[in-house]
Structure 1
Amino acid sequence: MKKSIGLLFIIFFLVFSNVIVFSQEKPDALKSYRIGRDLEVQGRMSDANARYDEAVQICKQEIAQNATNMDSYTVLTWALLRQKKYNEVIEWAQKGLKVNPSDYRVIETMGEAYFYLNQYDFSLKNMQKYIEAAPNAERVSVAYFFMGEVYRIKQKYNHADIAYSTAVRLEPNMPVWWYRLGSVREALGDYAGSLSAYERAVKLNPSYKEALDGADRVKKRLG
């Protein structure tokens, strides 16, 4: 009888111990990052930054344990980008690309960071590399938009027109992108094409003042 009770106690102890172990959720950097994005969309930037900080710390711990984990470099650079820590994005992206030079996720994020640091040639190079490596990836439309931004800033309006046009074809619901397309077409003297783009921006965002002004401006040009 005593042996049976003792055996039951041991079994209960082992089962209970396993329940405790499995109930402790493993830190998930991607989950923290996504919660941060949701909070940012809600305008709760302070709470979002706390989640981004959490994601950053988890990723750094993961990299310390396994310096070849590209998922950790990816989420780390995403979180740092949301916090506008662009130099840190570049630093960690370069470390990650030493492990895997063709990781397109890190390449694209680094391209965005270079853009915000006004290093447009590097940004353009990374976006082109990203598109070549992953032409059907999730952020290809974003890459084309940033290419359009670089070309617009460099006043290469024909190139910008092509890049923006591709971006809105892939993702047609971004009013800012349509506005940018309208602006470069206006600069090229393509007033009909410009009006079409401005009007699409206004359709998506009826209170978009710059697009409304642009549409009125080119309508006068068209007579």
Structure 2
Amino acid sequence: MLPSALSSFRVQNLTGAFLHRTLLSRVDVDLMVTVVCRPWNGERNAHKPWEGSIRMRQKLIAGIAALVFMGVTTLAVAQAPDALQLYRSGQYNAAVQATLAEIEQMPRNMNAYSVLGWSLLALNRNQEALEYGNRALGIARFDHRIVHIVAEANFRLNNNERALELYQQYTAIQPQGVHIPQVFFNMGELFIRMGEYNRADIAITTALHHNSESVNWWVRLGFVREQINDHEYAEAAYRQALGINPNHTAALQGLARVQAVVGG
């Protein structure tokens, strides 16, 4: 029964990923189980029977010590703070500290890099978000979460061309992603910064296709259309904004401007 019991313990508790994070390798475990479970070889140790028994006990003790160490390691991991939960509860500084500790233990942990980036952006620590995001891109170039984080950091830091490049990459990688409406709107803002108003019109119109309830986006679209002297459609955009919020100041002012131009 002893071999069966130990084999069951090994299968249930010593998974490949778990072993990888401990000092005990698969070979060590197999050796330990073999040593403990095999019958005593009388012929090999007939002249010194006590030697085999001593060696067996030594290996068993070493194996048990390693298992105790793994148990302590597992307990420490279980007690580590949940960085994602900290982020979701608005504890951004704590989330930053938790993710940095996770990355120190597992330098290629993309989940930790993602939560770290979101937390840094929430704290407006945009340069740090950019630096850690670029490091993460070096590990996983097409992780859509990291692409978006780095795009957002560049957008906030007025690195317009790089931000635009990464936003476009995000739309290709994650065309139905949760950030798609905001990404297209931000692309429109980037085109405005660059003076490319026709492209801004297309980008913001696409954003509104995904989310037509944003009064500010309709106002921004009206402004863009004013810049290209498309007053009829600028008026339509301002009216859409006022349909959502009849008292929106910028929309009322925009509508008055285009009506003055058309009337004149």
**TM bracket (short chain):** 0.7 to 0.9
Residue 181 of structure 2 corresponds to residue 141 of structure 1: yes
Specify which of 22, 27, 43 is matched with residue 81 of structure 2: 27
Could you state the TM-score of these two structures normalised by the residue count of structure 1?
0.80
Bigger proportion of residues as helix: 1
1:79-138 residue CA offsets vs partner (Å, 9 max, x unmatched): 111111111011110111111000111111211111111110111011001111111111
Specify which of 132, 139, 142 is matched with residue 102 of structure 1: 142
Shift of 1:205: 3.1
Specify which of 148, 151, 161 is matched with residue 111 of structure 1: 151
Equivalent residue for 2:25?
none
Equivalent residue for 1:209?
249
Q: Which has the higher contact order (CA 8 A, sep 6+)?
A: 1
Equivalent residue for 1:190?
230
1:50-102 residue CA offsets vs partner (Å, 9 max, x unmatched): x1001111111111111111111111111111111111011110111111000
Matched letter for residue 87 of structure 2 = Y
In 1, distance between residues paired with 2:82 and 2:232? Answer: 50
Equivalent residue for 1:58?
98
Question: Gaps spanning 5+ residues in structure 2: where?
Answer: 1-74
In 1, distance between residues paired with 2:218 and 2:155? Answer: 20
Specify which of 199, 212, 224 is matched with residue 159 of structure 1: 199
Shift of 1:208: 2.2
Shift of 1:195: 1.2
Matched letter for residue 174 of structure 1 = S
Shift of 1:204: 2.6
In 1, distance between residues paired with 2:164 and 2:186? Answer: 8
Equivalent residue for 1:219?
259
1:195-221 residue CA offsets vs partner (Å, 9 max, x unmatched): 121122223333321121001111222
Could you state the TM-score of these two structures normalised by the residue count of structure 2?
0.68
Matched letter for residue 99 of structure 1 = I
Runs of 4+ in 1 over 6 A off after TM superposition: none
Matched letter for residue 189 of structure 1 = N
In 1, distance between residues paired with 2:242 and 2:145? Answer: 32
In 2, distance between residues paired with 1:219 and 1:57? Answer: 54
Please tell me whether Structure 1 or Structure 2 has the larger radius of gyration of its CA atoms: 2
Equivalent residue for 2:240?
200
RMSD: 1.5
